Structure 1
Amino acid sequence: MSIVRYDNPARTLDKLFYFDPFTEFARAFGQPATSTPAPSPWSPAVDVAETEDAITLHVELPGMKLEELDIELTGDTLTLRGERQRVKEEQKDNFVRVERSYGRFQRSFTLATPIQHDKVSAAYRDGILEITLPKSEETKPRKIAVTAEA
């Protein structure tokens, strides 16, 4: 029994726009392809949550070191940059298939809510980077007391 990889819709869509005649010719005649499609750029998965007090990002960065990460907040744009290095010991192994992605990445997020720049915090634990962006006081909801006039 062979292992079959499930393709997510984004990768399947990429294949629609990438045509490799050598791969298609080999597939038509039931032979293994000698050419492989271009690797898709690596981009870490990010969950964004918003509460009344803050915006929190959880970024999946397994196997990365803090020195490989760069976080920058400029105006209303949060930018994450980094590079996941391939482990040196693995390069001497004879791989049949490599599915983990390596290389540089950059993700930018435009924040629609003003942030307290001096109170932004980031923590990296178990391969998850958590960035907390506290909202400015003027954007937090406030209760307004209503007084009755006699």
Structure 2
Amino acid sequence: MNTLTRFNPFKQIANVDTLGDIGDLVRGFGLRSMLRDFDAPLDLRMDVTDNDTAYLVKVDLPGVAKSDIDVSIEGNRVTINAEVKRETSKKHGKELHTERYCGTAFRSFTLPQDIDRAKAQASYDNGVLALTLPKKANGDTRKLTIS
């Protein structure tokens, strides 16, 4: 059995501390908060399983509100959009270090068979989005005879 892994060439670069060597020099100038816009986006990790009648998809979406998740299905393509929001008030003082991502995350993938959108279900619990995507019956396919 083969395992597919999504390759992200920028993941290692994004994890490098850009201010590591000169951190003491620039501390207090606010450069870290300016660099927050260049943080690596939320990585939507998912598991897809297949049974005879449906595809079961589980996607990790930690820190995302249920109302900020959008799932759309078109044929055999599934698209997931999530917006990660972060509190912006500065009630508790000056920000010294931030690593949490805020912004939008997007993931789109195709499945081997069309999805029955009318019967598809989604639930969200403890930061995990669970999709049940029933397979559409292929009653309109036919085999052609070659003459």
TM range (shorter): 0.5 to 0.7
Aligned to 1:6: none
Q: Percent same amino acid at aligned positions?
A: 28
Partner of 1:101: 101
Aligned-partner SS, 1:67:
helix
Q: Which structure dedicates a bigger proportion of its chain to helix? A: 1
What is the TM-score normalised by the length of structure 2?
Answer: 0.66
CA contact (8 A) 1:55 1:132 kept: yes
| Alpha carbons 1:68, 1:84 under 8 Å: kept | yes
- Alpha-carbon distance in structure 2 between the residues aligned to 1:49 and 1:13: 31
Q: For residue 82 of structure 2, what is the amino acid of its counterpart?
A: G
1-side partners of 2:60 and 2:15: how far apart? 25
Match of 1:64 in 2: 64
Contact 1:43 1:107 in 2 (8 A): no
Give the Å deviation of 1:73.
0.5
How much has 1:49 moved relative to structure 2? 1.7
1:92 aligned residue: 91
Bigger drift between 58-67 and 115-124 goes to 58-67
Q: Is the 8 A contact 2:73 2:115 kept in 1?
A: no
- Hey, what's the Cα distance between the residues in 2 that align with 1:13 and 1:49? 31
Structure 1, unaligned runs of 5 or more: 1-8, 140-150
Match in the other structure for 1:115: 115
Cα distance change on mapping 1:79 and 1:15 into 2, 3 Å: same
Tell me the CA shift for residue 81 of structure 1: 0.9
Query: Which is higher, the Rg of structure 1 or of structure 2?
Result: 1
Cα root mean square deviation, aligned: 3.0
Q: Name structure 2 gaps, 5 residues minimum.
A: 1-8, 140-147
Q: Decide whether aligned partners of structure 1 residues 87 and 15 sit closer, same or farther in structure 2, where only a CA change above 3 A counts.
A: closer
| Distance in 1 between residues matched to 2:49 and 2:87, nearest whole Å | 32
Count of residues paired in the alignment: 121
